[in-house]
Amino acid sequence: MPEGKIIKALSGFYYVLDESEKSGKVIQCRARGIFRKNKVTPLVGDYVVYQADNDKEGYLLEVKERTNELVRPPISNVDQAVLVFSATEPAFSPSLLDRFLVLVEANDIKPIICITKIDLLKTDNERETIQAFAEDYRQIGYDVHLTSTIERDGLEKLKPHFHQKITVFAGQSGVGKSSLLNAISPDLALKTNDISSHLGRGKHTTRHVELIHTAEGLIADTPGFSSLEFTGIEAEDLGLYFLEIRERSADCKFRGCLHVKEPACAVKDAVENKQIREYRYQHYLEFLTEIKERKPRY
C-alpha cells in the first residue's frame, strides 16, 4: 500500500503527499470509520498508509506512530519550532521566551530562537543588551539568530534549518512572523497575509493547519501555540526543560531536588557562581510556583 504524509486537513478531508514516488502527488483522502471507533484523529504531519481509488481520491488505512503531537495547533511529528521575538516594538521578553522554550522542550521539539527587528535598535546600549541575551542563550546551547526583514540581515543563516524538517513558528504577538516568512520565501505572500489577518483580528487559530513547502522543508501555516499554560508538566519535571538546570541537577545531593530550599543544591550553587543566569533561575521559580498552584483538572 502507498504511504505519505498529511499536509492539510480540512472539512473531513485529509490531503496526503505521496512519498512512495518523487512526483509530489497529493491525494485527497477520507478516514475510514475504524479511526472513530479507535478514537484516533489523523493530524497534519502524520505519516499514513492509504488506499487510492484513483489518482486523486482515496482512504486512510493507518496512522503511523508519532514522535510528538501538539493539541493547539493540531499537528504531529514536528521537528523544530522557530520562536520569534522582537528586539523592540514590542520589547524583548526573556520571561515569555523561557515559557515558550519550556513548552517546546516538553514536546520534544527542537527550538530555534529568532530575534527580529534588530534594525530598529537605536542606541549602542540597546544593541549590547540584545547581543548579551543572544549570547546567554547560545551558551546554554540554543541556536540564536538576529534578523531584520528590512535589511535582510540573518535570513540566509536561518534558511538551512528548514531543510527536510517540519517547522512551526511561534512567539510574541506583533513581532512580524508573517513578514519573516515573506522575507524567507516571497512566494508565500498570500499565506502569510492570511496568518497576519487572523492574528490581527485577535484569533489564535486558523481555519485549518497546512504544511507549505518552503526552503526545502515544510512550514506549518498556523500562528503557533495558542495555549501557554504548563498543562501536563509536573513540578518535578520542570527542571528538565531548562537545559542548564537539567545539566547540573545530577550533582544535587537529594534526588528529586526542586532547587528551591534544599541543601547542597548544585543548581543554586551554579546561580550563586553566575554559571546559571539569575533571570533564568527566577523564571524557573515563577513557573514552578505556577505549576504548584494550578487547579487540578478532573
User: pLDDT tens-digit profile of 203-230?
Assistant: 444 457 889 888 889 998 766 666 688 8
pLDDT, average across residues 88-111: 94
Q: Binning pLDDT at 50, 70 and 90, where does residue 170 land?
A: confident
Q: For the segment 43-60, what is each residue's pLDDT rounded down to a tens digit? A: 999 999 999 888 889 999
Side-chain half-sphere exposure of 117, counting CA atoms within 13 A: 20
Contact 140, 192 (CB under 8 A): no
Q: Where are the domains of the chain?
A: 3-65, 75-220, 235-293
pTM of the model: 0.87
Determine the residue type at 138: R
Q: 235-293 falls under which CATH superfamily?
A: Probable gtpase engc; domain 3 (1.10.40.50)
Q: Binning pLDDT at 50, 70 and 90, where does residue 231 land?
A: confident
Assigned C-alpha cell, 72: 493547539
Fold of 3-65: OB fold (Dihydrolipoamide Acetyltransferase, E2P) (2.40.50)
Phi, psi at 152, each rounded to 5°: 60, 30
Q: CA nearest 15: which of 34, 36, 29?
A: 29
Q: Looking at domain 75-220, which CATH architecture does it have?
A: 3-Layer(aba) Sandwich (3.40)
Q: Binning pLDDT at 50, 70 and 90, where does residue 291 land?
A: very high
**Helix or strand run (H / E) with residue 214:** strand 211-214
Q: CA nearest 173: which of 226, 216, 98, 135?
A: 226
Q: CA nearest 232: which of 294, 283, 174, 181?
A: 294
Give the span between the Cα atoms of 264 and 272, in whole angstroms.
Answer: 13
pLDDT, average across residues 97-119: 95
Please list the helix, strand and coil fractions of the chain in percent, rounded to the nearest 5, in that order. Answer: 35, 25, 40
pLDDT at 10 over 60: yes
